[in-house]
Amino acid sequence: MHLPRVLLASASPRRAELLTAAGIVFDVMPADVDERRLPGEPPAVYCSRLARMKAEAVAGQAGGRVSLGADTIVVVGEDVFGKPLDGPDAIRMLRRLSGRRHDVLTAVAVVSGQGVTAAVERTSVEFSSIEEEEIAWYVASGEPMDKAGAYAIQGLASRFVTRIDGSYSNVVGLPVAAVCRLLRDVDPQ
């Protein structure tokens, strides 16, 4: 099935790889938006708002294409983990994830001539207990530094994951099936 050409409002190489693997044709134009969470904002509302803001920020330059924004967060209890600020922040996040379940939420928003459509995908991930030496080794690898929750499930952190319930691509950073569902509903013009 033919899906429309997309303007991806993200510089994430992982999102680009996932779109390419799914056969979705796209161009990249990262969006520059304020990613701060509003006081009391629920996690799903927060990531959905950011995905919409990103898609809308590039929509004016889409030249007839559909714009796609996405945002991924990790939720532990009431805490929301985005990308770590630095090594100590990554260590703090990994300590919290160690030996427990957490949720990964990715919101996707599509802006087209028909307006904005959006979805939020939730995947539950369980980590084994991670020793302090393993955390130090992982943070020293540099891999956690630009990842929500300070880990890449498709990378070195795969050794920590004991269970996943939901979309794997969602944890990588883009729920491909949800994106395809939204793009199928776009009226080709």
* Active site (catalytic) residues: 71
Q: Where are the beta strands (DSSP E) in 13-160?
A: 26-28, 66-76, 79-81, 101-112, 115-127
φ, ψ of residue 147 to 5 degrees: the values are -120, 140
70/68 Cα distance (integer angstroms): 7
Q: What is the CA radius of gyration of the chain?
A: 17
CB atoms within 10 A of CB 100: 13
